[in-house]
Amino acid sequence: MDASQIIGGLWVGGAPPPGNYADRFDVLVFTAEEYQPDDRHFPGARVRRFPFDDSVRPSDEDLMTAWTAAEAVARDLRRGRRVLVTCAMGRNRSAFVAALALHIVTGEPGADMAALVRAHRVDRTGVSALANSTFRAYLRGLR
């Protein structure tokens, strides 16, 4: 599986193949609208679904979905759960939600949380997370 640890209990990664990840993660968060596999394929882990589009112009609904996902991830992190946030490639939607969650948990500026995610998440092809300039600009606006 292609996933990178961002901080202690938070990972960002691409769409995980079906399997039992309970030894590594308590919660799997699926953000890719095109990849929403059945829960039964991931025994032992809580599955959360927040599908939205990976668009350079996300809709207000997509941004609200990302915030809702981030709030759930933040709650899980505060409860000491190990969380894997995923999207198709583990680059944009998952990294965006992770950066938002870190902003919620730490109160640090969104730009700093984006930099933290980008520093730790490079996919197996060598591409850094948050290539979506709209997501990066949105995070820069969070103080």
User: pLDDT truncated to tens, each residue of the chain (143 aa)?
Assistant: 899 999 999 999 999 999 999 999 999 999 999 999 999 999 999 999 999 998 878 899 999 999 999 999 999 999 999 999 999 999 999 999 999 999 999 999 999 999 999 999 987 788 889 999 999 999 999 99
Residue 101's Cβ-side half-sphere holds a number of Cα atoms within 13 Å equal to 30
In this prediction the pTM is 0.96
Contact (CB, 8 A) for 24 and 3: no
Into how many domains does the chain fold? 1
What range defines the domain where residue 46 resides?
Answer: 3-140
Q: Which is nearest to 92 in space by CA: 12, 4, 25, 1?
A: 12
Using the structure block, give the residue that is written with the tokens 């979506």: 132
Q: Which is nearest to 69 in space by CA: 102, 117, 40, 107?
A: 102
The CATH number given to whatever domain includes residue 21 is 3.90.190.10
